[in-house]
């Protein structure tokens, strides 16, 4: 009996050590991968031909998922899993090689801890966004300066910008979110927004703006599909595919699909499919994005705009 007890105890001990070692090893592995990511380039290539995982930006997820559905309909043996999780997670995972395509609202160069040199950028669409205003505020056109004043807290009442006498409530996005990044950079010229309610989901932002008198937030254009919120013009320019494509409307961002090294196999086929006319002329505009083909200007990671 005593012998048995001892052996059980030993087995228990071995198991604990084993599990702990496995965990420790994992953690250590992650860390070293993060530090020396420049050298590990082969992650994406190991994937099997018929199965890829796409993850990242939750704003891009519906678009990519719709395209993947259609692609799978045409190629029965292709297995494409599309997950959300956030731009940062998408970039980190594609760099680690745990997924094949990482979606991001922002350039990889703008994210700390990502070695943009190893990642290949595929811009699959453009998303436009603008300020969403509660209808009772009585404002549907703001100059860029007014927008900056409102979001930095200099203007606190709608009457100061030609609206009703209502106090302004700001609705923000989380600090590192791609939507916030884009809005801060191209709508607020880099000014830090003042404090306000912070929500992650676009639907929640829309609902708050619609329900709260005096509220203002920012949303991708696809969310302006009814009259519960006002789609604000900026400097008199309405946000449409044409004004974004021509560069007249400033607040837009590429939807990036990153691969670790040049894509191969299914990843390459799927990205080609995303950029094909079939997707660009149907799914992309249907989901409220601007097709790449309509862009007459292009923008680099530093934000410089050039004619195509």
Partner 1 sequence: MAKASVSPSAEERLILTKKNRRWDEVRGRSLVTICAVIMIAATIAVTVFLAQKGLQSFTVNNINPIAYLTSANWNPTGGENASFGIFPFIFGSLAVTFLSALIAAPLGIGAAIFMSEIAPKFGKKVLQPVIELLVGIPSVVYGFIGLVVLVPLLRDNFPGIGFSLFAGVIVLTVMILPTVTTIATDAMRSLPNSLRQGSLALGATRWQTIRKVLIPAALPSLLTAIVLGMARAFGEALAVQMVIGNTRDIPGSIFDTAGTLTTIVTLNIGHTTYGSIENNTLWSMGLILLIISFLFIFVVRYLSGRRKI
Closer to partner 1 at the Cβ: 11 or 296?
A: 11
Site for partner 1 in 113-132 (CB under 8 A): 113-114
Q: How far is the CB of 204 from partner 1 (least distance, A)?
A: 7
Helix (H, G, I), strand (E, B) or coil at 223: helix
Instruction: State the Cα angle at 87 between 84 and 93, rounded to 5°.
Output: 80
- The residue (of 65 and 78) whose beta carbon lies closer to partner 1 is 65
CB 229 within 8 A of CB 206: yes
Q: Select the span of 124-132, 146-154, 201-209, 300-308 touching partner 1 (CB under 8 A).
A: 201-209
Nearer to partner 1, 78 or 89 (CB): 89
d(CA 124, CA 194): 32
In whole angstroms, how close is the CB of 172 to partner 1 at the nearest point? 9
Q: What separation in angstroms does the CA of 46 have from each of 39, 50, 148, 260?
A: 15, 12, 47, 11
Residue 43 binding partner 1, by CB under 8 A: no
Residue 263 CB partners (closer than 8 Å, separation 6+): 44, 100, 101, 120, 122, 271
| Rounded-to-integer distance, Cα 167 and Cα 158, Å | 6
Q: By CB under 8 A, is residue 19 in contact with partner 1?
A: yes
Distance CA 110, CA 95 (A): 15
Burial of 7 from C-beta contacts in 10 A (0-12 / 13-18 / 19+):
exposed
Parallel, antiparallel or unpaired: strands 305-307 and 119-133:
unpaired
Comparing C-alpha atoms, which of 111, 258, 78, 99 is closest to residue 177? 111
Which of 212, 228, 240, 246 touches partner 1 (CB under 8 A)?
212
Give the total of residues touching partner 1 (CB under 8 A). 48
When binding is defined by CB under 8 A, the residue of 45, 62, 153, 196 that contacts partner 1 is 196
Given the complex with partner 1, which of 179 and 280 has the nearer CB atom? 179
Q: Residues 44-73: x/- map of binding to partner 1 (CB under 8 A)?
A: --------------x---------------
Whole-number Å distance between alpha carbons of 208 and 171:
8
Q: Which C-beta is closer to partner 1: that of 110 or that of 149? A: 110
> Considering only residues 275-304, where is the footprint of partner 1 by CB under 8 A?
none
CB atoms within 10 A of CB 227: 9
Q: Which of 24, 25, 162, 303 binds partner 1 (CB under 8 A)?
A: 24
Taking CB under 8 A as the criterion, which residues in 148-187 touch partner 1?
Answer: 169, 174-178
**Considering the rule CB under 8 A, would residue 146 count as an interface residue with partner 1?**
no
Q: Which residues bind partner 1 (CB under 8 A)?
A: 4, 8, 11-12, 15-16, 19-20, 23-24, 27, 30-31, 34-35, 58, 84-89, 91-92, 96, 111-114, 169, 174-178, 192, 195-200, 204, 207-208, 211-212, 215
């Amino acid at each position: 009996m005593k012998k048995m007890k001892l052996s059980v105890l030993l087995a228990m001990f071995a198991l604990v050590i084993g599990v702990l070692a496995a965990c420790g090893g994992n953690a250590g592995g992650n860390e070293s991968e993060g530090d020396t990511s420049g050298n590990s380039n082969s992650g994406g290539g190991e994937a099997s031909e018929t199965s890829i995982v796409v993850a990242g930006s939750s704003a891009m997820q519906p678009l990519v998922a719709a395209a993947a559905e259609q692609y799978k309909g045409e190629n029965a043996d292709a297995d494409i899993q599309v997950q959300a999780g956030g731009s940062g997670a998408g970039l980190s995972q594609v760099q680690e090689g745990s997924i094949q395509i990482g979606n991001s609202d922002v350039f990889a160069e703008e994210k700390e801890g990502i070695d943009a040199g190893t990642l290949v950028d595929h811009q699959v669409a453009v998303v436009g966004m603008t300020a969403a205003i509660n209808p009772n505020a009585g404002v549907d056109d703001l100059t860029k300066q007014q927008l900056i004043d409102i979001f930095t807290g200099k203007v606190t009442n709608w009457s100061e910008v030609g609206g009703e006498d209502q106090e302004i409530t700001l609705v923000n996005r989380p600090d590192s979110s791609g939507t916030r990044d884009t809005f801060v950079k191209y709508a607020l010229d880099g000014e830090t927004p003042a404090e306000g309610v912070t929500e992650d989901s676009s639907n929640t932002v829309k609902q708050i703006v619609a329900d709260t008198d005096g509220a203002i937030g920012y949303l991708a254009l696809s969310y302006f599909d009814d009259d519960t919120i006002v789609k604000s013009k900026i400097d008199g320019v309405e946000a449409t595919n044409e004004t974004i494509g021509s560069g007249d409307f400033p607040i837009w961002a590429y939807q990036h699909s990153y691969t670790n090294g040049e894509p191969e196999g299914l990843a390459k086929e799927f990205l080609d499919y995303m950029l094909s006319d079939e997707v660009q002329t149907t799914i992309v505009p249907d989901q409220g994005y601007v097709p790449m083909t309509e862009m007459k200007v292009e923008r680099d990671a530093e934000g410089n705009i050039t004619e195509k």
